[in-house]
Amino acid sequence: MSLLSIDNLQTHFFTSAGVVKAVDGVSYSVDRGEVLAVVGESGSGKSVTGLSVMGLIEPPGRIAGGSIRFDGKEIANLPQAQMRKLRGARIAMIFQDPMMTLNPVLRVETQMIETIKAHRSMSWNKAWAHCRDALGRVGIPSPDERMRAYPHQFSGGMRQRVAIAIALLNKPDLIIADEPTTALDVTIQAQILHLMQQLVEEDGTGLVWITHDLSVVAGFADRVAVMYAGEIVEQATTDGLITAPRHPYSRGLIGSVPSRNVRGTRLAQIPGGPPPPLNRPDGCRFAPRCTFRKQGCEAAQEIRDDVRCWRVADLPALEEVSA
């Protein structure tokens, strides 16, 4: 039994302009100690999926269908009081912009200790020591002094480390990391990535790593789920996806990873943009941008061995993208 398994999830926003099906039939699962990367363009529904798991979708949005099972228990549309007990204790989430995720007017110690006290009773002193150790563990120098500091006294990378320390405080079984390195410098990105990898390995935590940058994923994630316009178009092992992407969209993504391109050649890009969420084509949503499109794509929707492309078997063999 998987730690988290999402099945045919539907999360919709009922706006005055119409129903935005931000997540439209997404299924994926993560085991303990496993790292699943969720990649896709902006607006494909990666964050909304993560927030649905956390029970943090706010009106006009709601989970309109499907199931989310965590540790064997159905948690989609769980009452807020029960969901609150899971959040931050058994499922933690880290967000993209470390400049914005810590409350600017509260000390780091306050923001850490409250995370413990929300879930178990512990003396302030004991909780404080525990939090200090957690800061040390994520590589913050002189944690004793830093406990009393305010977020603006940290650099971006250090703030993300604080956020990670907070997420790990109650030893969660699952962490959802929503592009936690996107806002950081490349060197800091690598450090944070390394840190996360090490921490989840030590604790045997399941990790959902949301990103729109495939190059971050290689050598880190066990599996990759590729999202496009509210759907998962392909799931594969990381090696499998990188060496042999099968869905035309994944092929395009791999083509646009810089390291696979020869220096000097232009970055391969998928022409066009994703369909507007209120007006998506029937059938294959990627069809309008697909180089392999032919008649019938506008009607087809089915998944053939883990790939949402009805013609996956007859697509031409992958050309070597790097010359």
Partner 1 sequence: MVYIIRRLMQAVFLALVMSFLVFAGIFSVGDPVAILIDPEATQAERVRLVAQLGLDRPFHEQYFIFLGNVLQGDFGNSFVYNRPALELILERMPATLELAFASIVIAVVLGIPLGVYAGLRHGSVGSKTIMAGSILGFSVPNFWQAIMLILIFAVILGWLPVSGRGEVGQFMGIHSSLFTLNGLKHMALPAINLAIGHLALVIRLARSGTREVRAQDYIRFARAKGLSEKRIVMVHLLRNILIPIVTLVGMSFGGLIAFAVVTESIFAWPGMGKLIIDSIHLLDRPVVVAYLIVIVMIFIILNLLVDLLYSLIDPRIRLDEVRQ
Ligand X SMILES: Nc1ncnc2c1ncn2[C@@H]1O[C@H](COP(=O)(O)OP(=O)(O)OP(=O)(O)O)[C@@H](O)[C@H]1O
Query: Considering the rule CB under 5 A, would residue 47 count as an interface residue with Mg ion?
Result: yes
Instruction: Show contacts with Mg ion in window 115-174 (CB under 5 A).
Output: none
C-alpha neighbours within 13 Å on the C-beta side of residue 220: 26
Nearer Cβ to ligand X, position 61 or 248?
A: 61
Query: Considering the rule CB under 8 A, would residue 280 count as an interface residue with partner 1?
Result: no
Which does residue 192 bind out of Mg ion, partner 1, ligand X, none, counting CB within 5 to 8 angstroms by kind?
A: none
Measured over all CA atoms, what is the biggest interatomic distance in the chain, rounded to whole angstroms? 68
Bridge partner list, 210: 38, 178
Contact 186, 193 (CB under 8 A): no
Query: Considering the rule CB under 6 A, would residue 285 count as an interface residue with ligand X?
Result: no
Q: Other CB atoms closer than 10 Å to residue 289's CB: what's the count? A: 17
Instruction: Show contacts with ligand X in window 55-114 (CB under 6 A).
Output: 61
Smallest gap from residue 118 Cβ to partner 1 (A): 5
> Segment near partner 1 (CB under 8 A), from 85-93, 193-201, 207-215, 231-239?
85-93
Smallest gap from residue 89 Cβ to partner 1 (A): 6
Q: How does 189-228 read in b/e, with b if 16+ C-beta sit within 10 Å?
A: bebbbebbbebbeeeebbbbbbbbbbebbbebbebbbbbb
Smallest gap from residue 55 Cβ to ligand X (A): 15
Q: Which two tokens mark 166?
A: 């907070």
The residue from 15, 198, 237, 243 that contacts ligand X (CB under 6 A) is 15
> Segment near ligand X (CB under 6 A), from 13-21, 124-132, 140-148, 191-199?
13-21
Shortest CA distance to 146 belongs to which of 156, 97, 133? Answer: 133
Judge residue 181's burial from the number of C-beta atoms within 10 Å of its C-beta, 0-12 exposed, 13-18 middle, 19 or more buried. Answer: buried
Angle of helix 124-137 relative to helix 108-117, nearest 10 degrees, comes to 110
Query: Considering the rule CB under 6 A, would residue 255 count as an interface residue with ligand X?
Result: no
Interface with partner 1 (CB under 8 A), residue total 29
Which chain residues interact with partner 1 by CB under 8 A?
A: 54, 56, 84-89, 92-93, 95-97, 100-107, 114-115, 118-119, 150, 152, 163, 166
